[in-house]
A and B are shown apart, each in its own frame.
Chain A
Amino acid sequence: MSKIKVSNLYKQYGDNHVLKGVDLEIQDNEVVVIIGPSGSGKSTLLRTLNRLEEPTSGSVVVHGEDIAKKDVNIDKVREQIGMVFQHFNLFNNLSVSDNIMLAPMELKNVSKEDASKLAKKLLKIVGLENKFDAPIQSLSGGQKQRVAIARALAMHPDIMLFDEPTSALDPEMVGDVLSVMKQLAKDGMTMVVVTHEMGFAKEVADRVLFVDKGKVLEEGTPDEIFNHPKDLRLQEFLSKVLDA
């Protein structure tokens, strides 16, 4: 069964047409990686999946509900979709544990005790069990991103969206974050990942989408995309990123 089905999606900012008719389907347990040049609309596409961006037209069906429609309770839909941002966006006024505990306590009436247990468990999964009480400001970038993943997981989402989760990290931190993501994929999480980490795409993705100028120009298995690219612009793009 498809978890997300995007049809004929358009998005424009003023005269700037950013998405020009995107169709896309994501199945249960699938890991989809989106690649493409800068400014091609990858982030915009990802952010329409939980309506952080409102589509100009088209439909975005999540769990059978079209969230492009105004009358959906978007907050309820978002509870089931975790999102991880390039710049972490951890809540600066809260400690590590409070970042993780806030949403379950506010939205699911989880008791403080249970939320605290949950936070401990999640911090262990991302390898930061000793940072429970730490203030956000004391963490490194890699640590922050792993807390951000734990925060998203605390709502027990069944879809996770990642927007360039490692782009803002020092190279030596990238591995820690990627290994957490690999583990998530192995455990069967449905994931949509925008990234420039081609290694991750080759190793983990079930399917890779190449987006350019607001359209999905080619999609396929990592082998098809990286070893047998058909589209000219994809070939050009790959030669640039793989050389670098």
Chain B
Amino acid sequence: MKRRNLTISAFITAICTLMIALGVFMAPSKANADTKTYQIGTDVTFPPFEFANNDNKYVGIDMDLLRAIAKNQDFKVNIKPLGFNGSVQATQSGQIDGMISGMNITPERKGTFDFSKPYYSSGVVMAVAPNSKIKSLNNLKGKTVAVKTGTAGADYANSIQKKYGFKVSTFDDSNNMYQDVMTGNSVACFEDNPVMMYAIKQGTKLKIVTKPANNGYYGFAVKKGQNKELLHKFNVGLDNLKKNGEYQKIVDKYLKANPNAGSSYADNHSFFGILKQNKSFLWNGFVQTLWLTIVSIFFATIFGMIFGLMGVLPSKFLQGVSTTVIYIFRGLPLMVLALFIYTGIPSLTGTKIPAFIAGVATLMFNEGAYIAAFVKGGIQSVDKGQMEAARSLGLPFGKSMRKIILPQGIKIIIPSFVNQFIITLKDTSILSVIGILELTQTGKIIIARNLEGFKVWTAIAIMYLLIITLLTWLSNWGKRRTKI
């Protein structure tokens, strides 16, 4: 009985700790009193509308426009690099106030979003490799084309897919889509005209072969029925900028004039050049990944210990709880769990969860379930006779556990722990879906700008290996210290 109380109170302590951490992380994101700060989601790998420049500041037509409007209308924006789909979900769940992400105004989207007045008109073009024989849609029969999820290009491709008899391969960001065409996996891609033009000017080796089709309009979006004030400010600001000529200046800056103006893009394509140029950005991603890993491991270990031990207590009920928790959280794909916590729960309860906390919670549940499973298994693998001998001497259950069973169980478990730590580190990369700027997301953003996939991923891979080495070294040191 005493033992049970102990376990439950340990669990409550862990939850409280998490809550406190939540409070600490939420505090700085609170709006300040005089000028309201809005949280705006965007893609940041979608030049020329949004991308990170050489200083890793988010720029592009959307970004410059939004900032100019904010200035004009006296509010502040906090840009959240959630990706297009992440932004859609975060807006719908109320995690963020709105999104600007080269988003086409469609009747379907109008069902769940309120849009600003259109701020840009765009059409879909088809681009192919320079030496490609594909000249028109008629050449696509039996071939595969690449599209990016949720874009007008994707809608367009899907709408004509039957007619022209091609297959569609879907990507999450533009660079991977271009890459697929350049390597020949797909014969063509469908992309918004300005996006394609900008990418080609930046050195993407593709050419446009069709006229813009399916002309559509980009709009700034908020959740339907919410943030009316923000939408109004955006519309008024947009009108003002159009009148005073600032709007045209912004568009021209990215599409007409030399888009590289002010960037030292060309001279930084060596491996070390890229490293040097993105030093602080990569470092931040590195720190974020390391921090995510360590905090998550800490909570996952507590979570796993509690539910693992619960599984070996002499109570059918607690064993059932342990089995169920392990079953659920081990069964859910990490990405589903992350999106569920980050966008699913807030849309139910209406409270925002910071991405970092959602990420830690995701890893705590998932990795914790694995830890619980091997803690339970490890303890159960200790010979039954050990417990019987201890109990036969008169030692109570708890004492027998602590003095005899756990020391032997932990010895069995240790290698699994080290293994799980390394898996946790690698799994942090999945948290890029909820916009955490960890190493993987950092890599995607840098590549969106410089299109140097191989070199950047090499650098990122090395950094992951570095952290793994660090972790392994740390756990070996820990093992030696505790003499287990």
Bound pair (A, B): yes
B385 contacts which chain A residues (CB < 8 A)? Answer: 85, 87-89
Which of B389, B393, B396 interacts with A155 by CB under 8 Å?
B393
Contact A106 B389 (CB under 8 A): no
Contact A103 B391 (CB under 8 A): no
Contact B404 A79 (CB under 8 A): no
- B394 on the A face (CB < 8 A): yes
Mask for B373-409, Cβ within 8 A of A = 1, else 0? 0000000000101101111111110010001100110
- Further 15 A-B residue pairs, CB within 8 A, beyond A79-B393, A92-B383, A92-B408: A50-B392, A52-B392, A75-B391, A75-B396, A85-B385, A89-B385, A89-B388, A93-B404, A93-B407, A93-B411, A102-B403, A103-B393, A103-B395, A107-B395, A152-B393
Within A27-67, which residues are at the interface with B (CB < 8 Å)?
50, 52
Size bracket of the B interface: 10 to 19
A93 contacts which chain B residues (CB < 8 A)? Answer: 404, 407-408, 411
Number of interface residues of A (CB under 8 A): 27
Contact A91 B404 (CB under 8 A): yes
Kindly provide the distance from the CB of B407 to the nearest chain A CB, expressed in whole angstroms.
4
B395 contacts which chain A residues (CB < 8 A)? Answer: 75, 102-103, 106-107
Given the complex of chains A and B, what is the CA–CA distance between A75 and B407 in angstroms? Answer: 22
Chain A residue nearest to B394 (CB atoms) is A79
Given the complex of chains A and B, what is the CA–CA distance between A75 and B395 in angstroms? Answer: 6
Kindly provide the distance from the CB of B1 to the nearest chain A CB, expressed in whole angstroms.
13
Which of B386, B392, B399 interacts with A91 by CB under 8 Å?
B386
A90 contacts which chain B residues (CB < 8 A)? Answer: 389
Contact B403 A75 (CB under 8 A): no
A155 contacts which chain B residues (CB < 8 A)? Answer: 393-394
Q: A75-B396, A106-B399, A106-B403 are in contact. Are A89 and B391 (CB under 8 A)?
A: no
B390 contacts which chain A residues (CB < 8 A)? Answer: 91
Kindly provide the distance from the CB of B396 to the nearest chain A CB, expressed in whole angstroms.
5
- A119 on the B face (CB < 8 A): no
Contact A52 B383 (CB under 8 A): no
B403 contacts which chain A residues (CB < 8 A)? Answer: 91, 102, 106
- A81 on the B face (CB < 8 A): yes
Most A Cβ at <10 Å: residue of B383, B389, B393, B403: B393
A50 contacts which chain B residues (CB < 8 A)? Answer: 392
- A151 on the B face (CB < 8 A): yes
A and B contact pairs by CB, cutoff 8 A, 21 listed: A50-B392, A75-B391, A75-B394, A76-B394, A78-B393, A79-B393, A88-B385, A91-B386, A92-B386, A92-B408, A93-B407, A94-B404, A102-B393, A102-B395, A102-B403, A103-B393, A106-B403, A151-B393, A152-B393, A155-B393, A155-B394
- A83 on the B face (CB < 8 A): yes
Mask for A145-180, Cβ within 8 A of B = 1, else 0? 000100110010000000000000000000000000
Kindly provide the distance from the CB of A54 to the nearest chain B CB, expressed in whole angstroms.
12
Given the complex of chains A and B, what is the CA–CA distance between A79 and B396 in angstroms? Answer: 11
Contact B388 A85 (CB under 8 A): yes
B408 contacts which chain A residues (CB < 8 A)? Answer: 92-93
Contact B394 A107 (CB under 8 A): yes
A102 contacts which chain B residues (CB < 8 A)? Answer: 393, 395, 403
Given the complex of chains A and B, what is the CA–CA distance between A79 and B379 in angstroms? Answer: 25
Kindly provide the distance from the CB of B479 to the nearest chain A CB, expressed in whole angstroms.
16
Given the complex of chains A and B, what is the CA–CA distance between A78 and B399 in angstroms? Answer: 14
Q: A91-B404, A93-B404, A93-B408 are in contact. Are A103 and B386 (CB under 8 A)?
A: no
Given the complex of chains A and B, what is the CA–CA distance between A121 and B395 in angstroms? Answer: 22
Chain A residue nearest to B410 (CB atoms) is A93
Given the complex of chains A and B, what is the CA–CA distance between A83 and B388 in angstroms? Answer: 10
Contact B383 A89 (CB under 8 A): yes
Contact A89 B389 (CB under 8 A): yes
A88 contacts which chain B residues (CB < 8 A)? Answer: 385
Chain A residue nearest to B404 (CB atoms) is A91
A87 contacts which chain B residues (CB < 8 A)? Answer: 385
Chain B residue nearest to A93 (CB atoms) is B407
Kindly provide the distance from the CB of B398 to the nearest chain A CB, expressed in whole angstroms.
11
Most A Cβ at <10 Å: residue of B383, B390, B392, B403: B392
